[in-house]
Structure 1
Amino acid sequence: MLVRIVMLSEESYSRGVFSTTALNAVSQALGFAGNLALACWFGTRSDVDIYYYCVGMAFLASTFFGNLNTSVLVPEAMRLERQCSRDDAQAFLNVFLFGYLAVGIVAMVPGMAAPVSVGRLLSRFQASLIERHADIFSWACVFFGLSNVAQYLSDILASRRYFALSVLLGIAPKLGLLAFLYGYRGSWGIRAAFLGTCVGLLVQICCAVFFLKARLGWRFQWNLSSVGARVWKNIIFSQTGHLVGAAAGAVPLFLLSSFSEGTLSALGYGQRLAVLPALFVVQPVAGVLGIKLNELRPKEAWPEIDRIFRGVWHGLMMMLVPISVFLVVYAPEVVGLLYMRGNFDAASARLTARFFRIFAATIPFLASTALTTRLFIAWQKVRLSMMYQIANRTVFVLFLLLGIRWFGALGYPLSDLLTWAVYQFALLPAIWRHFSCVNYQAAVARAGRIAAFSVAGGTAALACSRFCGNGNAWADLFTGSSICLLVWLAQMALFEDDRRLVAGWLRSMVRNSAPGAGG
């Protein structure tokens, strides 16, 4: 496998899943190491609150543009290459590459020129706090501009089947963050995190451009006429929903910025820990699945689409549902063991664990949504997707306003969990009507069965820890994970489809890691 990565070769679908999952695990591990470093060296201070607020806002904006890439731009470029030529596809993609550069420059100007005004406009932090840490807002704007360009280039590489390379280059910002935190945290404080990330993003962009030019013969010429009326219509329908989603995601950050010191920091630590299992697996697998569905949908290969979709669904649920239940049960122990060192005190750990427990329960719903979204994209159901997104985020904001009033800061993760749970049921009519080739009922039934066994295992583990444990976190985690594993193995023993799935995983790992293996 390493030989293939070094050679930067074009990959098949099956090998793409394997290589991107493996490399993404490394990338996410480095990202989480940065999270641990922030917790250890800075704890839950006011400047860390501002850092996580800015990262959260920049992430929402980057997600908005990332959805544009995967929902409209990449599928349209693949269509142009298939029906016209590769040069036409490149000219089309270059229009938006230069567009992202322009957006980045526009964002950097006010961030560098008037960071205090930006902070006062976009947050509810105290004025004195914004003035004291104004340069954090400046670096956040630079980070936003660079991250959009880097993400777009990675999506282009993935669409060309260079799955591993797209993930490999994404490691650079994580390494930059760790290196600058280690070397300059004493003199620059939390700003070192932003500076290191921005340097890494520049490296990622330069390497991607070099590869496109040297290996693919990319011509950086653009043709605005290649963006026809149909594309603009799809962009409007697609991004209207995502714009509502980004705005809805900004509401909790805006509201929570007025809470006491350490609230946003604890939220950031807990949320990033909770989504880690999903990021390790869901993000790369869903990306490769989307490319495969975009290829199979024009061929009307309905049985193959059903087989691949339900296989990926089954695999993700088999992995993530038990992990989600385990993390919900042992949230305080997990947070304590990972974060309790340096400047991260017991009060910070308690608040982080409360956020983490609720966010961990959303993991299976995030995986489900990531997969079903790929169906909407492959079928180009842009308007329908937009309607669902607007409804989803509107309901979330309503739940959020009530949740924060009733439960304080914990109202945010509770509202998020409830919204995603309701959303799964709201999707059923659309899936049955528009994606009838997918046996979604069977997929949901499997997920329900897995959830029942996982909850049973988690309940048994919790009872054992409460009544038989000695208060040692390591011992409780070992006992609980052993019980959950035994229940997972019992489930496999009872159901043949689960056994076939795990056997397929093992065969795929052996086949894809063998020297010279193909796809």
Structure 2
Amino acid sequence: MSEVFGLKSKLGLASILFLLATLLLKISGLVRDMVIAFYFGGSLESDAFWAAFIIPNMIILFFTTGMKNALVPSYIQAIENKRHEYHLNHVFTGTILISLLISVLGIVLAPYYIPLLYGGLGEEGHDIAIVISMIFFSSIFFIGMNAVLEAFFDAENRFALSMVSQIIVIVSLILGAVFFAETLGVYALGYGYLAGTILSLLFKLVIVSKRNVPKLTWKLDWPEVKDFYIVFFPVALTVAVGQINLAVDNVFAAQFKDGVVTSLNYAKNLVHFPQAIFGVTIGTIIFPLISKANSQNDHQLFKKGIEQGLTTMLFILLPSIAGLMLLMPNIIELLYQRGQFDANATRTTVEIAYYYVGSVLFFSLHNVINKGFYTLKKGHLIMIVGGFAILLNAGLNVLFTNWLGYRGIPLASSVMAVFYVGTCFLIFLRLVDGLKLRMIGKEYAKIILAVAVMAGAVVGVLTLVEDWNNIMQIITVAISGAVVYTGSVFALKVDTIKIFTNRFLKKKGNQTS
């Protein structure tokens, strides 16, 4: 039976479940931020928590996202050779040893790197951040095992399980704050996270127990592990580029008034919400498909997948970003302005959020491009570009903070994203001997025009409902924007809409036949 590649043939039950689970994960992430804002506002404790979280979270993403990008194609290739269980078992055992080593090193080094990076926090802030950092590094031992199992689920198209296990971690952190913030203070967040990583691992082990994989192997095949990690490390380091840049941003933010570090992280998490839902979802869904196409040497199928991923990404993402920007003051006030998070903190967060828009747009498109690099096992090329991007981000932070103060920090990230993603795209074009750029450009022009029409309509609606409460404004604008955008893409004959309409018509035809 011939395989028709594309999102329109793969938006099945697994993909829908993954999208719903991703949405639930990101909503739980917003709830986490709301809980932290309620209990700790824009205080020194909150700043110390986010500062302590950055470096461990870099390592966490190094394992979780990096493992998916490296293990999914290697596991699928191993299936072709009927070596997949052997490969998975040795990667799992090797990862346990590596994650244990990183946990120990992180705990030992925390008292040294925290004062070095975050001098603006002061002695009290350093003491808080060091303890929290140690707690987070303790969780990395469990994160390593979690990462292998999540990649295994993704390779078998069981995408939703990875999201559910991550939700367990966030919910545990939230419960830690709710029940123990008054007695343990901000440390309750760290202990809640640690407990969540253990519970998440137990959840996965129960699921895979019936399969009896992966299994610990005491006679480790070091060449097998070495070959995997030669691919994994460049791939994982490219994932860490975003977190390294965020760490740079937080170092600069710590030099300003109390609360800027907190507002920076809240703004980034909120602005990147559409990317975290749609960008990650689309990238994750196409990854096993293009990996399979590449393993079968079907280069046209591989390129078609990348092209559809790029057009679908902008089709879904751009209207979401535009609507989010227009409603940003309403959303931030609704989500965060309560408890210890006052109106001044809201204004600071809104200002920062606007300047982050470039980073979310370009990094979302990069979610498709980087999957192509990883499939071709060329992740080291992104790593090289990422190294230059980190240096550029630091330089732009110096320049823009002298010009715009703390607002220059997100602006530097947006400008850096243009360079980083643009350079990677040009390199990828050379690797695959070009894509259908005229088709992509034509589709992008139509989508941008449709979003412009939608934005104009939304601005008009906002003037009519400006006296309404926040929730009613957001709901009214969201519905109006969705209706106008849908009508515009049909009127402009945007081809990407066919991915969804054809899928719907196919299901309807199957039901009536």
TM-score, length basis structure 2:
0.87
Cα displacement string for residues 2-49 of structure 1 (whole angstroms, at most 9, x for unaligned residues): xxxxxxxxxx87433222111121222222211111112221111111
Q: 2:260 aligns with which of 260, 263, 280?
A: 263
Q: 1:123 aligns with which of 118, 123, 130?
A: 118
Instruction: After TM superposition, give the deviation of residue 426 of structure 1 in Å.
Output: 2.7
**2-structure distance, mates of 1:70, 1:468:** 45
Instruction: After TM superposition, give the deviation of residue 262 of structure 1 in Å.
Output: 0.6
Amino acid paired to 1:99: L
Specify the alignment match of 2:187 in structure 1: 191
CA contact (8 A) 2:47 2:259 kept: yes
Specify the alignment match of 2:375 in structure 1: 378
**1-structure distance, mates of 2:240, 2:282:** 25
Amino acid paired to 1:431: F
Distance verdict in 2 for CA 1:406–1:477, change over 3 Å: same
Distance verdict in 2 for CA 1:88–1:126, change over 3 Å: same
Specify the alignment match of 2:40 in structure 1: 42
Instruction: After TM superposition, give the deviation of residue 328 of structure 1 in Å.
Output: 1.6
**2-structure distance, mates of 1:406, 1:432:** 36
**2-structure distance, mates of 1:425, 1:103:** 36
Specify the alignment match of 1:275 in structure 2: 272
Specify the alignment match of 1:6 in structure 2: none
Specify the alignment match of 1:368 in structure 2: 365
**2-structure distance, mates of 1:352, 1:367:** 21
Instruction: After TM superposition, give the deviation of residue 432 of structure 1 in Å.
Output: 2.7
Task: Tell me whether 1:481 sits opposite 2:481 in the alignment.
Answer: no
**1-structure distance, mates of 2:371, 2:223:** 25
Amino acid paired to 1:167: M
CA contact (8 A) 2:91 2:228 kept: no
**2-structure distance, mates of 1:133, 1:511:** 58
Instruction: After TM superposition, give the deviation of residue 400 of structure 1 in Å.
Output: 2.1
Specify the alignment match of 1:393 in structure 2: 390
Distance verdict in 2 for CA 1:362–1:117, change over 3 Å: closer
Q: Unmatched 5+ residue regions in structure 1? A: 1-11, 515-519
**1-structure distance, mates of 2:183, 2:71:** 42
Specify the alignment match of 2:3 in structure 1: none
Instruction: After TM superposition, give the deviation of residue 322 of structure 1 in Å.
Output: 0.8
Instruction: After TM superposition, give the deviation of residue 314 of structure 1 in Å.
Output: 2.9
Cα displacement string for residues 390-436 of structure 1 (whole angstroms, at most 9, x for unaligned residues): 23333222222212221121112111111222334334432332224
Instruction: After TM superposition, give the deviation of residue 238 of structure 1 in Å.
Output: 4.2
Amino acid paired to 2:114: G
Instruction: After TM superposition, give the deviation of residue 500 of structure 1 in Å.
Output: 1.7
Aligned runs of 1:287-436 on 2, under 5 Å? 287-436=284-433
**2-structure distance, mates of 1:65, 1:128:** 31
SS at match of 1:218: coil
**2-structure distance, mates of 1:291, 1:80:** 13
Specify the alignment match of 1:206 in structure 2: 202
**2-structure distance, mates of 1:246, 1:29:** 21
**2-structure distance, mates of 1:42, 1:284:** 32
CA contact (8 A) 2:386 2:420 kept: no
Specify the alignment match of 1:517 in structure 2: none
Distance verdict in 2 for CA 1:337–1:303, change over 3 Å: same
Distance verdict in 2 for CA 1:440–1:423, change over 3 Å: farther
**1-structure distance, mates of 2:508, 2:411:** 41
Specify the alignment match of 2:50 in structure 1: 52
Once the two structures are overlaid, the 10-residue window that deviates more, 246-255 or 31-40, is 246-255
CA contact (8 A) 2:260 2:406 kept: yes
SS at match of 2:210: helix
Distance verdict in 2 for CA 1:315–1:65, change over 3 Å: same
CA contact (8 A) 2:150 2:162 kept: yes
**2-structure distance, mates of 1:273, 1:219:** 39
Instruction: After TM superposition, give the deviation of residue 371 of structure 1 in Å.
Output: 0.5
Q: 1:63 aligns with which of 38, 61, 64?
A: 61
Instruction: After TM superposition, give the deviation of residue 153 of structure 1 in Å.
Output: 2.4
Instruction: After TM superposition, give the deviation of residue 349 of structure 1 in Å.
Output: 0.6
Specify the alignment match of 2:90 in structure 1: 92
Specify the alignment match of 2:103 in structure 1: 105
Distance verdict in 2 for CA 1:98–1:310, change over 3 Å: same
Once the two structures are overlaid, the 10-residue window that deviates more, 352-361 or 476-485, is 476-485
Aligned runs of 1:480-519 on 2, under 5 Å? 480-496=477-493, 497-504=495-502, 506=504
**2-structure distance, mates of 1:509, 1:134:** 55
Instruction: After TM superposition, give the deviation of residue 354 of structure 1 in Å.
Output: 1.1
Once the two structures are overlaid, the 10-residue window that deviates more, 356-365 or 320-329, is 356-365
Specify the alignment match of 1:20 in structure 2: 18
CA contact (8 A) 1:461 1:479 kept: no
Distance verdict in 2 for CA 1:215–1:511, change over 3 Å: farther
CA contact (8 A) 1:91 1:226 kept: no
Instruction: After TM superposition, give the deviation of residue 138 of structure 1 in Å.
Output: 2.6
Amino acid paired to 2:499: L
Instruction: After TM superposition, give the deviation of residue 437 of structure 1 in Å.
Output: 6.8
**1-structure distance, mates of 2:423, 2:107:** 42
CA contact (8 A) 1:107 1:142 kept: no
CA contact (8 A) 1:118 1:137 kept: no
Amino acid paired to 1:75: P
Structural RMSD (CA): 3.0
Instruction: After TM superposition, give the deviation of residue 365 of structure 1 in Å.
Output: 1.6
CA contact (8 A) 1:274 1:360 kept: yes
CA contact (8 A) 2:45 2:128 kept: no
Specify the alignment match of 1:82 in structure 2: 80
CA contact (8 A) 1:303 1:437 kept: no
**2-structure distance, mates of 1:167, 1:502:** 24
TM-score, length basis structure 1:
0.86
Distance verdict in 2 for CA 1:442–1:490, change over 3 Å: same
CA contact (8 A) 1:20 1:285 kept: no
**2-structure distance, mates of 1:357, 1:50:** 24
Amino acid paired to 1:27: L
The number of aligned residues is 499
Instruction: After TM superposition, give the deviation of residue 438 of structure 1 in Å.
Output: 4.1
**2-structure distance, mates of 1:145, 1:407:** 41
Specify the alignment match of 2:459 in structure 1: 462
Instruction: After TM superposition, give the deviation of residue 143 of structure 1 in Å.
Output: 3.6
Once the two structures are overlaid, the 10-residue window that deviates more, 28-37 or 43-52, is 28-37
CA contact (8 A) 1:242 1:389 kept: no
Task: Tell me whether 1:141 sits opposite 2:141 in the alignment.
Answer: no
Once the two structures are overlaid, the 10-residue window that deviates more, 352-361 or 286-295, is 352-361
Instruction: After TM superposition, give the deviation of residue 104 of structure 1 in Å.
Output: 4.2
**2-structure distance, mates of 1:198, 1:232:** 26
Distance verdict in 2 for CA 1:285–1:494, change over 3 Å: same
Task: Tell me whether 1:171 sits opposite 2:167 in the alignment.
Answer: yes
